[in-house]
Amino acid sequence: MVDLIDSQLDPALQAAITSANNRISFTTQRDTLKIRLQQDLMYFIEGGTFKITPELISFVYIMKSAGSIVLIDLNDNPIKINDIEQFYDGLVTKYFEVTNQYLFDLAKLKKSRAK
């Protein structure tokens, strides 16, 4: 029945419907990528959960000479970080891996939209 309705629609209306469906699909896929980005930017250490942000990376970099620090995680728990250097390296590595993957996936999605 859908084919009968589609075949009876004005070609301009069919094009508008197709375009709207494509935009909805693109937006949904982009939102899914954003959600995955936020999930992948979580970092777990010493029983704590931290969201990797440029601000956290900068703060940890500044504190590297302290030896150990206590940070409040996403659940408002105090977490003692004994090896700040290792923590910093882990944050930076994961941040760049995740953001580069997001860049790649988003470019691929935009390219598929252009077709």
pLDDT digits (tens, 9 = 90+) for 43-67: 999 999 999 999 999 999 999 988 8
Higher-pLDDT residue of 12 and 37 is 37
Q: What percent of the chain has pLDDT over 90?
A: 65
Q: Are 26 and 109 in contact, with CB atoms under 8 Å apart? A: yes
CB half-sphere exposure, 7, CA atoms < 13 A: 4
Q: How many CB atoms lie within 10 A of CB 81?
A: 21
As a residue count, the chain comes to 115
Q: Measuring CA to CA, how many Å separate 14 from each of 2, 87, 97? A: 12, 54, 41
Q: Containing domain of residue 47, as a range?
A: 2-114
How many independent structural domains does the chain possess? 1
Q: Does position 113 have pLDDT exceeding 80, yes or no?
A: no
Rounded Cα distance between 38 and 44, Å, is 14
